[in-house]
Structure 1
Amino acid sequence: NKQVSELSEQENPWVIFVETLAPDSGKKELPPFDKDSDVLLFLKFYDPRTKVISYVGHLYVPISAKANEIVPQLNRKAGYPVTAPLLLYEEVKPNLIERLQDLSLPMEKLLDELMDGDIIVFQRDEEDLAQYPLPTPKEYF
């Protein structure tokens, strides 16, 4: 076993995610997480009007959950009605993004090599997306 300070001297800079409770949440502990049946997903929202991608939080999701089951939570994070239609993408690696087509599939089948820390990028599905110079996150990247 090594201390973090020993490891950090030998490695490139680390990116560390620290989850905290909001002071006004009224909760005393973080939500439960089962490493065998849950996955931690980071979320980014893309707005084609402003051509901006923003980090909007994270979710713990059962790996067996269908992608369309998280759409209401994504809509809340974006400030949309919970039933607003969304387009979802997986950020496979920096500057490479793939559209998630069949949102009725379980997360474990929909995302390649599902693992903690995967990034879901989402945007509102609009009929007139073609009017924007960068209509989807694929063009943004």
Structure 2
Amino acid sequence: MNCPVSFFFFILVFWVRQLREESNKVHNAELKLFLEVERGLDLRPIAPPGKTKEDILLFFKLYDPEKEQLCYVGRLFVKSTGNPMEYLAKLNKMAGYDPDEEIKLYELQDGDIVCFQKSHTVESAKQYRYPDVPSFLDYVHNRRQPKPQPIKYHGIDHLVDMLIHYNQTSDILYYEVLNIPLPELQCLKTSKVAVHHAIKDEVSILINFLSHS
């Protein structure tokens, strides 16, 4: 059944307005939305299929360990009591795989997004840095974070050790330009002073370096 375009976009604008109001109640942040519209042969929007209480809308992302990419490939209405194997052929079609390709599914914390990938043997997985979805997401989570503790002078044996973070090799190196040599800085005593604003609830932390003598 086709929806009139004007009615379709009226519902869309109303829904976006409601979503923005709910979002602003939590935090005042930029709201980004991505719209996926299914169209018929006449290029007019098609109404979503009828939905019951047992139907769940899931979004699927495909992980490619060779390219180290996690990309959105589609969505499906599934039954809450259904078997994931019932949707195997549809997921393989989304990914461009053979209908009987063996895949692995990973559910993210929010429950609405499911990641999947081709199944690999233990031996074949060794050729990839991040062979599965959990290891890749762990890398993405930690790759822009600096090490919790700075590297001490003569604290490493090889330069490559500067890029190892949580047993993973990062491609980002955080550094700070010092106004004194690092060996001298490490010999100083650190003193932190908390400065409280007289009117606002702001606290500034000042770090002073003192000599041990």
TM-score between both structures, scaled by the size of structure 1: 0.69
Larger radius of gyration: 2
Number of equivalences: 116
Which runs of no fewer than 5 residues in structure 1 stay unpaired? 94-113
Structure 1 runs of 4+ with >4 Å offset: 23-28
Q: Pick 1 or 2: higher relative contact order, CA cutoff 8 A, min separation 6.
A: 1
Contact preservation (8 Å) 1:33, 1:60: no
1:9–1:31 Cα change, 3 Å: closer
**1:77 correspondence with 2:91:** no
How far off its partner does 1:27 sit? 8.0
SS across alignment from 2:109 = strand
TM score, norm. by length of structure 2: 0.47
- In percent, how many aligned pairs have the same letter? 28
Shift of 1:92: 1.1
Unaligned runs of 5+ in 2: 1-13, 138-213
Q: Find the counterpart in structure 1 of residue 70 from structure 2.
A: 53
Mapping of 1:1-141 within 5 angstroms? 4=17, 7=21, 10-11=24-25, 12-16=29-33, 18-22=35-39, 24=41, 29-93=46-110, 118-127=112-121, 128-141=124-137
Supply the RMSD in Å over aligned alpha carbons: 2.7
**1:28: Cα distance to partner?**
6.3
Task: Name the structure where helix makes up a greater proportion of residues.
Answer: 2
Q: Distance in 2 between matches of 1:7 and 1:68?
A: 39
Q: Give the secondary-structure state (helix, strand or coil) at the position aligned to 1:10.
A: helix
Q: CA, structure 1 residues 130+9, in 2 after alignment: closer, same or farther (shift >3 Å)?
A: closer
Contact persistence 2:61–2:71 (CA under 8 A): yes
